[in-house]
């Protein structure tokens, strides 16, 4: 005879494995520090690409006025300003991504603990 409790547990566990569990297992296969390093590295790469694109678009938008003032521009102060903006963007976005990574890792950790607890309950139902 089919035990209704076991079927409910198995259905719930299978649903978890197909949905939220895939992402949680993918996250939890890293150590916490390694996962944070990956998050911050992704942030660094995306900020670098975005910053280059934004600077390029700004230059293209103001190309005519920049060409007229080319000989009068202070390139050293321009480079310093760009470097300050770039470092600021990397720091801000890196901190945000670090916080999101910590939140995701702890959420995955809690989720997997609950999953393994339910697996133990299911195992005890089979042993009874």
pLDDT in tens, the chain (128 residues): 567 878 887 888 888 888 888 888 889 889 999 999 999 999 999 999 999 999 999 999 998 888 888 888 888 998 999 999 999 999 999 999 999 999 999 999 999 999 889 888 888 877 76
Decide: 86 and 51 in contact? Cβ < 8 Å: yes
Which pTM was predicted?
Answer: 0.77
Q: Are 40 and 97 in contact (CB under 8 A)?
A: yes
CB 115 within 8 A of CB 19: no
Kindly list the domain boundaries of the chain, sorted by start residue.
21-127
- Please tell me the distance from the alpha carbon of residue 65 to that of residue 49, in angstroms, as a whole number: 25
Which spans in the chain are helix H?
4-18, 20-28, 32-61, 63-68, 75-127
């Amino acid at each position: 005879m089919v035990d209704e409790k076991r079927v409910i547990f198995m259905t719930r566990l299978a649903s978890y494995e197909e949905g939220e569990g895939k992402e949680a297992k993918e996250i939890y296969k890293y150590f916490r520090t390694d996962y944070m390093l990956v998050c911050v590295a992704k942030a660094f790469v995306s900020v670098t690409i975005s910053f280059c694109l934004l600077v390029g678009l700004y230059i293209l938008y103001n190309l005519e006025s920049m060409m007229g003032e080319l000989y009068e521009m202070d390139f050293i102060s321009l480079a310093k300003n760009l470097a300050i903006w770039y470092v600021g963007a990397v720091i801000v976005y890196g901190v945000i991504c670090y916080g999101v990574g910590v939140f995701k890792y702890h959420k995955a950790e809690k989720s997997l603990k609950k999953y393994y607890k339910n697996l133990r309950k299911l195992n005890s139902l089979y042993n009874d």
